Structure 1
Amino acid sequence: MASDEGTVRVDSWIWSVRLTKTRSAAATACRGGHVRVNGERAKAAQAVRPGDEVRLQHAGRERVVVVSRLVRKRVGAAIAA
């Protein structure tokens, strides 16, 4: 799905916007059921699009983020915020 202009993998996006330290940690969170996209449990390869709501249970708290733009490569903290 990464070749499609309008989507990116959820595990890659979570890592790119610095919600997890590594992409493997993002994939593990998906496998463990700690990631939801628009209220549904997400697998690591699930595609996200602008406007999707991503919920991540991590480090004892829930982070709720709305995808405003697709990021394929890891970005700096200022841009991720």
Structure 2
Amino acid sequence: MFKECCPELIPVMEKVAAENPHIAKLIERHQELNKIIDEVEAGREHMEELELEKLKKEKLHIKDEVYAAVIEYKKEKGL
């Protein structure tokens, strides 16, 4: 999840998610993808490598979009 990569942004991310339903959905989807990927990589679930890579790319795209929204929010609010 985002806590591992950028814990300092979590408070701002929570504010953005509270104000923006799209970002809130993206964060939720990121969490879902994280769980699925972890299960596959731990060997508890099976998935074709191509499908796993697709999910990893989706997760990264979401992370980039949420991060951009957080940066924009910080800029707008002068944080």
Bigger proportion of residues as helix: 2
- Report the TM-score, using the length of structure 1 for normalisation: 0.34
> With CA pairs under 8 Å and 6+ residues apart, which has the higher RCO, 1 or 2?
2
- Report the TM-score, using the length of structure 2 for normalisation: 0.35
